[in-house]
Amino acid sequence: MNSQIFSPSYPESRMRRLRKGDFILRMLTESNLSTNNLIFPLFIVEGNGVKEEVSSMPGIYVYSIDEILYVAEKCIDLGIPTIALFPVIDSTLKTNNGIESINANGLIPRTVIEIKKRFPELGIMTDIALDPYTIHGQDGILDDSGYVLNDETIEMLTKQSLLHASAGVDIVAPSDMMDGRIGIIRQKLESNEYKNTIIMAYSAKYSSAFYGPFRDAIRSSNNLKKGNKNSYQINPSNINEAIREAAADITEGADMLIVKPGIPYLDVLTKIKEKFRVPTFAYQVSGEYSMIKAASLNGWIRNDEIILESLICFRRAGADGILTYFALEAAELLRKNN
């Protein structure tokens, strides 16, 4: 062995000095995770006393309004600032144009009103899209060939946004990926005295295979069948397209952006955050949750450690916050660790 290796100057830098104990690891932590960074997605259904586990998402449930109030209270107790609501619509109410999405007495407006009545301090975010309400499972209105019509869909989305804002929603989150919808929704919110309603745009929503369990939860899998959303969601191979989408949404009036899915698209998240420096969120989607949960239930990985590691990855990549089905578990772990 070369004797130079053992000279007094070898090695010039010992990086392990800065990993020698817990105190120094804590001092030099670059990315932090707290409950303030979490948004908990929740599935809501008609009925009373309903708490049904989603078969493909162990530990995640579909709740009726009365049951979701208990979850909302738990979120407040754990310091989770915001929940995101997704409706599970009865099949008899689904139509080609998703007209139930603008029913003033519909599931989402009533849920928002009840939660705000009990817990006004809890932030509420709602999905602005038609797929839970359409008989075909697409995010918009179709023409005779099955193509999703852009402008006609935006008209419905705008009405849906106004309805949610009138019910007391804090954040409307258009997830449809129609061109120009942020500008029109912003304009209508402004002209209808909802100037303080936040728009969190799904700017980089990819046409991904990771959404399967979510579609099981909202019961749209059978509606979509073997269809896809390639004509409006982004090709997983592309990143410049996502940057252009983000730029357009910011110009049109979006306050915050979402990248979806999460971990497989951390590169997209980082580039968007670095380029635009606006509040940027990631969605750790149902497929990501189910893979981690299935592996942990089988004893292949350590559940608690991988939950926190997966979430800190988003923070390291630049996310200001994360929509995650692990929100309750993560909040409890963070409380325990503190």
Secondary structure of residue 194 in the 3-state scheme? coil
Distance from C-alpha of 333 to C-alpha of 296, rounded to nearest angstrom? 16
Token pair for residue 149?
């019509």
Structural domain boundaries of the chain?
A: 31-337
Burial 74-85 (b: 16+ CB within 10 A, else e): ebeebebbbbbb
Catalytic residue among 94, 260, 271, 293: 260
Catalytic residue among 51, 116, 188, 205: 205
**Which long-range contacts does 233-239 make (Cβ < 8 Å, 24+ apart)?**
233/177, 233/205, 233/206, 233/207, 233/208, 234/177, 234/204, 234/205, 234/206, 234/207, 235/206, 235/207, 236/206, 236/207, 236/208, 236/264, 239/267, 239/268, 239/271
Distance from C-alpha of 48 to C-alpha of 68, rounded to nearest angstrom? 10
Residue type at 223 in one-letter notation: N
Whether residue 336 lies in the annotated active site: no
- Which CATH architecture is the domain 31-337 placed in? Alpha-Beta Barrel (3.20)
Annotated binding site for Mg(2+): 245
Residue type at 20 in one-letter notation: K
Whether residue 51 lies in the annotated active site: no
Per-residue pLDDT of the chain (338 residues; tens, 9 = 90+): 454 555 566 777 888 888 999 988 889 888 899 999 999 999 999 999 999 999 999 999 999 999 999 999 999 999 999 999 999 999 999 999 999 999 999 999 999 999 999 999 999 999 999 999 999 999 999 999 999 999 999 999 999 999 999 999 999 999 999 999 999 999 999 999 999 999 999 999 999 999 999 999 998 878 887 789 999 999 999 999 999 999 999 999 999 999 999 999 999 999 999 999 999 999 999 999 999 999 999 999 999 999 999 999 999 999 999 999 999 999 999 999 87
pTM of whole model > 0.75? yes
φ and ψ of 301, to 5 deg: -135, 165
pLDDT for 24? 87
Annotated binding site: 245
